[in-house]
Structure 1
Amino acid sequence: MDNEVITYLKQNPDIAEFVRYHPIWYRYLMRDPNRLTELKKEAKKFYGKTFPQKVDNFSNQLQMVRMFAEMAKSMKD
């Protein structure tokens, strides 16, 4: 594997962990170190760090807060 890729994985433990969970990436990176950007995108999807995933997560949390507020309001009455 390219030294630049190894250094990057050492500096980013989340992505290194993703590669351990998906060992096919070892082969991809050995053959083509330029696939590092693709690896970053896949790791973001895996960890739920893409913008749509963050928005969805926030929406779910907001919905839960509203539900608790409604429940507290109904118990008060």
Structure 2
Amino acid sequence: MHEVSYSYLQNHPELLVFVRYNPVWYRYLSRDPNKLEELEKEAKRFYGKTFTKRLEKMNNQVQMITMLMQFAGAMKD
């Protein structure tokens, strides 16, 4: 792996863990160190940090709170 790619991964431990879980990225970065942006995008998808995943997670939390409030209201009656 190129020194630039390796030092970048050392400075971003979350990406380093992602590469360890997906060893094919060692090959990609060895052949083309400019794929760091693509690596970051894939890691965001892997960790669920994309906008759509965050929105989905927030929506699920709101649904859970609504359901708990309805349950609490039913218990009150």
TM > 0.5 fold call: yes
Q: Give the match for residue 39 of structure 1.
A: 39
- Equivalent positions of 1:1-77 (< 5 A) are 1-77=1-77
What secondary structure is seen at the aligned counterpart in 1 of 2:49?
Answer: coil
What secondary structure is seen at the aligned counterpart in 1 of 2:16?
Answer: helix
1:11-63 Cα shifts (integer Å, max 9, x gaps): 11111000000000000000000011000000000000000000000000100
Structure 2 unmatched runs, 5+: none
TM, length-normalised to structure 1: 0.97
Number of equivalenced pairs: 77
CA RMSD of aligned residues (A): 0.6
Q: 1:7 Cα shift? A: 1.1
TM, length-normalised to structure 2: 0.97
Structure 1 unmatched runs, 5+: none
Moved over 2 A (4+): none
Amino acid at match of 2:50: T
